Structure 1
């Protein structure tokens, strides 16, 4: 059985400014790099061992994964295009504070995040959930009986988790906050 852990990237420049990044490709901040090193230490402290590390093609996730892999003495991360963050459509580059005004009533509010459900051009959560299942299926085929770390983003990370645990996607959005360099798992496929 493939064992999968999912980690979110470190803080990037959009996170600092409260901007919805989606496919925007800005680098990690200095704090984001420190968070990636702290993630590696938490992994080591939990005595987790990974056979392989995958990352989204976006710099914030790829750099986080590279720092973690280096700190843990692992091979360079493998880019997996399906780990890219959700396409935010017209919300890309907008302040997070605009979500409710622009997208209500099609939102889900939590303590930390207000999720928009279907603005123009955005990938829907059911579509993202299907992509998350595809990622799990590809990991199971490529890495049977191995432990895999996926370094990605908030929305796709939550939908991979939903697919792996068979939990409804709406519940996963409200059950936990997936902050910068948080790690969830193990999830099994």
Structure 2
């Protein structure tokens, strides 16, 4: 089994404004860089063998900050851990989005469904876990993956059989969630900080 810690990227100006980012490539702000350092501090008590990041700059910069702080090599990019594509919903304020599309389950034109996000993220984690097992078998390896709120939500929902996240739960920027992954298995171990 591979231990995988999912980290939500640090804050951006669009997070602060409550604007839908999706695949729009928005950089971290200063608070976001502090979020990355805080996540690195939470991760510092455990040995980690590899770090991966979504290709979007906000996730990749968060991963670089964590890697530097923990003395790790630069993060590898994993394309399928990118945020949900919101199509014509990208750039809207959250209130505007909900007014126009009613809920998060509706898929605006050009948007990915939540099932699609879950499936591609599960596929990416399966590849990461397989690479990890090749490097470290039979010892469990610990891997960090820096990704996005929508991706983490879809994986929490999957791993908890729909009981998490609860209605109204906020996944903070820089929050951590630890999973155990194996062939066809993703099990939530603990939310470290949400």
Tell me the distance in 1 between the aligned counterparts of 2:58 and 2:30. 12
1:10 counterpart residue number: 10
Contact 2:105–2:114 (CA under 8 A) maintained in structure 1: no
Tell me the distance in 1 between the aligned counterparts of 2:156 and 2:105. 19
Q: Does 1:181 align with 2:174?
A: yes
2:39 counterpart residue number: 39
Structure 1 residue 172, shift from structure 2 partner: 3.0
Structure 1 residue 116, shift from structure 2 partner: 4.4
Normalised to the residue count of structure 2, the TM-score between the two structures is: 0.84
Q: How does 1:1-80 map to 2 (within 5 A)?
A: 1-44=1-44, 47-80=45-78
Q: Which runs of 5+ in 2 are unaligned?
A: 134-139, 183-194
**Which among 79, 88, 95 is matched to residue 81 of structure 1?**
79
Structure 1 residue 58, shift from structure 2 partner: 0.5
Matched pairs, number: 175
Contact 2:19–2:94 (CA under 8 A) maintained in structure 1: yes
1:111 counterpart residue number: none
Q: Does 1:129 align with 2:123?
A: no
Structure 1 residue 141, shift from structure 2 partner: 1.3
Task: Map Cα deviations across residues 45-91 of structure 1 (whole Å, 9 max, x no partner).
Answer: xx222100000001100000000010000110101101110001111
Tell me the distance in 2 between the aligned counterparts of 1:100 and 1:23. 18
RMSD (Å), alpha carbons: 1.6
Tell me the distance in 2 between the aligned counterparts of 1:18 and 1:77. 28
Structure 1 residue 166, shift from structure 2 partner: 5.5
